[in-house]
A and B are shown apart, each in its own frame.
Chain A
Amino acid sequence: MNLVLLLSPILIPTVGALVLMMLDAFQKEDGGLAMPTALLHFTAAAMALALWQRGVPADTSALHGFLAIDKTSLFLDATIALGGGIASLLAGGYLAEHKLDRGEYYPLIAFSTAGAMLLVSASDMLMLFLGLETMSLGVYAMTGFRRGSPRSAEASLKYFLLGSFAAALMLFGSALLYAITGHTDYAGIAEVLHAAPAVVANDAAMALQFETRAKISILAMLLIVIAMAFKVGAVPFHMWTPDAYEGAPTSTMAYMSSVVKAAAFGAFARVMLAVYGDAASAGSAAGWPAMLAWVAVATMTVGNLVALTQTSVKRMLAYSSIAHAGYVLLGVIAAPREGTGTTAYASVLFYLLAYTVSNMGAVGALILAGRRGAESVSYDDLAGYARRHPAAGFAMTLFLLSLTGVPPTVGFFAKFYVIRATLDAGYTALALIAVVNSAVSAYYYLGVLVKMYMRDPAPGAAIATPMRSGYVTVAILTAAVFVVWMGVMPERWLDLAREAVSAATAAAPAAATAGGTTAP
């Protein structure tokens, strides 16, 4: 197949970003780039789906093993592009309203999206790093986009420093893997790591070498997990998240908390499954799901408990995004399990899509509630909001209910699907902890509803009035359509998610079946 066609989901935002830069350079006034950027993203999403329809060729040797263009990556590409498109629309409304509308924002989004797509398609450590950096650099700049604001600068700096740190760890891990295997591509690494202990059992020197290799492999795995945990905002590597989210312009926060998270999780799941998915290989893959289980528990619990104490909705959403990362981790943990792993992996993809639309919608509704100079960020700002503006209040309610996991929204279904996968894999305790957390989370989401519907603004306080912006309205409507559609008729979407991973598991090395039985 034509290489350009194969890479088109990634090429569209890349080339588009360059065009956007030109447009920005030659246009006389700022603004007006939101719609082209959104269209660019939606085209990329459509292209990914078109490729999906057409069928991905089995022979992708033209990519030299750097990228895996398969249904998994196409699904994530579409998720990322959809999220990026909605984020561009939100930016169109938000930046204009708050006098931040400088054209460079839009090429940055497009570049980040291209990076995110590279990240989820990467099947090579180098590509993984490249994607990670391409994505992150754009987002660092977008975080500090409110140039006059010290908080925005602080957020950007924090995010940049910790992000670089994570990238360095990732690089270090990759280097260690290269040192012991001589490969940078996932398949090559996995193959060498898997070189069965049986072969070396009779040879003392070989055995020693094997053992050393196993130790280094574990170290590399730890470094990669830590780096990825930074990116997805998992506890205890979540410290940057609330500050970065809160300081960033709200449209950037929408992008960071949805798209970046989806991309990081996509890459995380892929690299862990491809490199360490096989329980029999050196460095005992049996270890990481158990380790991640603790991380998941901590992530859910800390995210939710701290979210309870927030007075700012923006910060609450930041902590809630940490909590949601914990739920997604459950799916990742269950994914290497033989037999039930496929649905677990599918549940991760489904959750990422569901979270992207729900969270985009919630942040969008928050953006809608603020005008120039009176951005709504705290619970108090929203007092009585839904009474004065029923439609805008209802939109916020819908997305928050989805995040809570109340049927018939997609959030319920995504949570349901992940928890089911967790139970299928036999992690009953994890599932219980997840539902308790889900019940806890109801409290702080409900807090917003209470403010919006049942409280009056304090005398003298600013009264939240929705901004008028076609962009934001369209973005919210798009997200709402997905939230309801995927919640009421999930079957088609589940099929897509399952189909996305079935190829991945079918193509997985036969070794996966050899060692699967000893998984925890």
Chain B
Amino acid sequence: MNSARHLLSVLIWFPALAGILALFLPRQAPKLLRAYGVGAGLFLFGQSLQLLIGATHSVEGRQFRFVENVAWIPSLGIRYHLGVDGISLWLIVLTTFLTPLTMYVSFGAIRNRQKEYIAALLLLESAMIGAFVSLDLFLFYVFWELMLVPMFLIIGVFGGQNRVYAAVKFFLYTFAGSVFMLVAILYMVAKYKALTGSYSFDYQDLMRLGFPVSTERLLFAAFALAFAIKVPMWPVHTWLPDAHTEAPTGGSMILAAIMLKLGTYGFLRFGMGLFPLASHWIGPTIALLSCLGIIFGALAAWRQYDFKKLIAYSSVSHLGFVMLGLVSRTEAGVSGAILQMVNHGISTGALFLLVGVIYDRRHTRDVAEFGGLAKVMPWYATIFVIVTMSSIGLPGTNGFIGEFLVITGSFTSDLLNWSHHCSGVGADRQCVNSQIGPLFALLAVSGVILGAVYMLDVVQKVFFGPSTNPRNAHLQDLNKREWRAVGPLVAMIFAMGLFPMYFRDRVDPTVRAFLSVYNSKREALGMRRGEEVPYLLDAAAIQPPAHDTPPTVGHPTALRTPTTTRGANTLVALGD
């Protein structure tokens, strides 16, 4: 099938159409419905694999691929501009991979309104992929907002007891967070128009804008707020435990595995890409908040009696790693963060799935209700332990590589500085810059340990020890449906753990290019720090380097920009 030219459009619009079509299928034929939904999801997954072709060690890796760029609303400069690069590649594949799995496993618990459920999931998939591939800020915002409605319905209609509260909280938090982003986008476009005489919402056009320092910080804040709520970063994470707990298994899976990633993805692509100076300024603070998130998330998870809440708080903790990796702005850190996004998607998706399994049998998520399950459900226990290992980052599973890279990245980052003992004013201002990356790395490492503590604690409580509760005595082990759903996830856990380079090869060139643009733009902006009005940067300042030299195995000291040397060396060592 040669649909590669419009592959991204297919990825966006196929699930949308399939979702709408699902509403017209007969409710009386549940088998047909289920086959249709899963079939559509699998077809899309197959299509999305085309993205993996030809994105290895080539110069292409630093550019957008599968680009589609046509005018949508020309008079406002709004374009239908899609593209995929190493940052979004795996997130898209993750989306198409998890959606059919989620749908399939949900049919066990969701017996009523399957038609609407299928439609909502497919529409959600469409919007999420759309947000990942949009290179036009207007288009991105449209997809970003579009995601809310199906998720709102999934939580509110199919969720648990307190579902309405959770659904409304989820919707309002995210909606309120993102309207400021809209204003910031519009402000930038207005300034772009003032400078160039034409409107454009294009990411690559708006990249050229430079703003006075205070304006840039405000704009960055508007973007960062929207993304921080989605991530969610401590302390704006409070919607997450509610949403996760009340959502149905499938909803929790999608929410944790993919939707949260849109926050980190947006932070990297737009927050850091568009505002390097502001993100540099606030970087250490975000790193600190991330570390607080890592630690508080882990501590909070430790104290939960509700299985789903536990995983929800562990998400806060894991996403802290991602944010830390991003703000370290080293190649290792950012690559690690991107991999960690995918890893977290898989392992948390699997955890929610497994909790769903036990919830379907006992209709409780109270950890204290269980004990000694390993005897009753040996396979379930085995899989659960594997997923736990992945979640806490045991080497050989996918979790290890991401966390390790993030911590390395943070440790070696020379952009996470604490400026102190300043003297002088204006251009003469001199400060002592102390690298504080290692400090954050230390905090993050303690988070890894805490992660092991709370996960192993719960595993111990649930699966080992005496089986005191008679109601657990005759629980059925994993059934066929559950095996089919969890199998691919476990396979991915090992695939990513044992062959990380396959995944990293498709990420690293983009990350190098991204960081190089980031740094050159930051320098260019820094040179014009004093300017009072917005200005346009030379196109050269935001061009990725003409030649990308991939890390050659055996030659670890291949050409590098100085800032990434240490991180890059680590990379290669791992690759070996």
Contacts and interface: CB of A to CB of B under 8 A. Distances in A.
A48 to B, nearest CB: 22
B217 to A, nearest CB: 15
A66 B168 CA distance: 52
Given A406-B148, A408-B146, A491-B74, A446 B172 contact: yes
Interface string A409-432: 000100011011001100010011
A420 B146 contact: no
Interface in B142-167: 142, 145-146, 148-149, 152-153, 156-157, 163-164, 167
B145 A407 contact: yes
A196 interface: no
A416 B193 contact: no
B176 interface: yes
Contact of B168 (A406, A420, A446): A446
Contact of B193 (A424, A438, A498): A424
A187 interface: no
Contacts of B189: 420
A450 interface: yes
Interface string B180-215: 101100110110010000000000000000000000
A401 interface: yes
Contacts of A494: 73, 75-76
A491 B186 contact: no
B267 interface: no
Contact of B183 (A387, A435, A450): A435
Nearest to B153: A453
A408 B172 contact: no
B142 A435 contact: no
Interface residues of A, number: 33
A217 B463 CA distance: 84
Contacts, number: 84
Contacts of A490: 73
B176 A495 contact: no
A428 B171 CA distance: 25
A439 interface: yes
A435 B190 contact: no
A371 interface: no
A62 to B, nearest CB: 34
B443 interface: no
Given A439-B172, A455-B164, A423 B183 contact: yes
Nearest to A426: B190
A374 interface: no
A494 to B, nearest CB: 6
Per DSSP, chain B at the interface is helix
B379 interface: no
Contacts of A435: 179-180, 182-183
A436 interface: yes
Contact of B157 (A420, A428, A453): A453
Interface in A254-313: none
B180 A432 contact: yes
Contacts of B175: 439, 442
Interface centre among B116, B152, B168, B183 (most CB of A within 10 A): B183
Contacts of B23: 390
B502 interface: no
Given A431-B186, A450-B167, A406 B149 contact: yes
29 contacts: A387-B113, A390-B116, A401-B149, A406-B146, A407-B146, A408-B146, A416-B186, A423-B183, A423-B186, A423-B190, A428-B183, A428-B187, A435-B183, A439-B175, A439-B176, A439-B179, A442-B171, A442-B172, A446-B172, A449-B152, A449-B156, A450-B156, A454-B157, A455-B164, A490-B73, A491-B72, A491-B75, A494-B73, A498-B75
